[in-house]
Amino acid sequence: MKLTLELPRHARANVWLDDAPRATYAATSYLGRTLAPIRTIEPARRLAAIELFVPHGPSLSYALLGAELVMAESTDLEVSVSVSKEGPPLISPLTGKLDRVSIGLPKEFAQAVLDGAARTAQELGAPTQRKLLYRWAAHGFVSSSPTVFENASAMVLRFLTLTENDLEAQICRILSS
Amino acid sequence: MYTIVQIPFGWANCPGTHCSWLKEAGALAQGPLTVAGGAFQTAGAAAEQGIQITEEGLAAVIDHLAQFGEWPANQAMIDRLSAQLGEVVTGADANFYTHELMEANFMGSGMTYDEAHTLAIQIEGVSPFSLYHPEVIEQCPECFNANWRAYWGIDQ
């Protein structure tokens, strides 16, 4: 399932639930951390992703990030971020012609992805006894930053726990928070 | 030196569809800036020759940026411009200021953000990386990627 959303402040987003964007890549390395969430939230789905476009005036923020949740023996939440070199161009990114978007996640954003997951786990809670694998990504040559990847990561983890009730409203609340 | 003649809308006596916003202060009597292929030839002109920060212009920039919400790098640039009110600025300060005035004008006349941002960059003829001062890029590292630091020669 893919939702396309027009957001306040000229922003827009694509959200995938139980589905993945066409932005797979081969990892050259991994960055990982084990999180102990403030409380356990049962996962409602296995896959989630977001493509985010947020204008700031002279610049804009762009990120595409997706993750898969799989069972693990750990009692906590193990997070793994796939790092890559710059890949091929992403087809039809939300930036349009405003930036050049490539598939993959450069190392400079990997820590921010971990930080975003940690933020959600600490502030709201997250699934436990699971591995969270961030393995879909795309980034803009000009418009990507640690901030936008941290926010995207925090949102993806929240999407994985969304129930089916009033799904679009829940997503909009997350995107505007 | 360039100066803002009228802001943000209704810029007078310019031939472009969207670009009647800037005139060379010393060349007002000689007509507007050169037009070629429908676009002003102002590539980096404000950045190189300087533009005066006026109270009116700065207020228009702040008002325009408010619609996008908080972004630490924007606030840092506004702080820089506020500290130079009345002065002639060059480089990234001038690029940021003129870009935002143009973007505000274009969006005010009905363009989308994407259209206005693109056209403003085309008219300025500058790199998108040149719209923020290197000190701001160092001050707000979380807002920028390595390509920005490479452009400005900032150690990574």
Q: How many CB pairs under 8 A join A and B?
A: 71
What range defines the domain where residue A60 resides?
A: 2-90+114-176
Nearest chain B residue (CA) to A140:
B145
What range defines the domain where residue B118 resides?
A: 2-129
Query: pTM of this prediction?
Result: 0.88
Distance from CA of B155 to the nearest CA of A (A): 14
Nearest chain B residue (CA) to A148:
B143
Average pLDDT over residues B142-155: 95
Specify the higher pLDDT residue, A174 or B41: A174
Q: Are strands A130-140 and A77-83 parallel, antiparallel or unpaired?
A: parallel
Q: Is residue B94 part of a domain?
A: yes
**A84, A122 contact by CB (below 8 A):** no
Q: Is residue A107 part of a domain?
A: no
Q: Is residue A22 part of a domain?
A: yes
Q: Is residue A98 part of a domain?
A: no
Q: Is residue A109 part of a domain?
A: no
Contacts of B147 in chain A (CB under 8 A): 141-142
For chain A, say whether B100 makes contact (Cβ under 8 Å): yes
| Amino acid letter, A12 | R
Q: pLDDT confidence of B68, banded at 50, 70, 90?
A: very high
Contacts of A98 in chain B (CB under 8 A): 114, 117-118
Cβ–Cβ below 8 Å for B128 and A142:
yes
Q: Is residue B45 part of a domain?
A: yes
| Total domain count, chain A | 1
| Residue carrying structure tokens 């000689």 | B30
Q: For residue B96, what are the contacts with CB-CB under 8 A and spacing of at least 6?
A: A58, B77, B81, B131, B132, B133
- pLDDT at residue B5 is higher than 60: no
Residue among A98, A108, A150 minimizing CB distance to B145: A108
Q: Is residue A49 part of a domain?
A: yes
Q: Is residue A52 part of a domain?
A: yes
Q: Is residue B26 part of a domain?
A: yes
Q: Is residue A30 part of a domain?
A: yes
Distance, CA of B9 to CA of B11 (rounded, Å):
6
Cβ–Cβ below 8 Å for A145 and B145:
yes
| Total domain count, chain B | 1
Output the tens digit of pLDDT for each of chain A's 177 residues: 999 999 999 999 999 999 999 999 999 999 999 999 999 999 999 999 999 999 999 999 999 999 999 999 889 999 999 999 989 999 999 999 999 999 999 999 999 999 999 999 999 999 999 999 999 999 999 999 999 999 999 999 999 999 888 888 899 889 887
pLDDT of residue A128: 97
ipTM field = 0.94
Q: Is residue B142 part of a domain?
A: no
Q: What is the CATH number of the domain that holds A20?
A: 3.30.230
Cβ–Cβ below 8 Å for A57 and B112:
no
- Cis peptide leading into residue B32 (ω within 30°): no
**A57, B74 contact by CB (below 8 A):** yes
For chain A, say whether B152 makes contact (Cβ under 8 Å): no
- pLDDT at residue B17 is higher than 70: no
Q: Is residue B137 part of a domain?
A: no
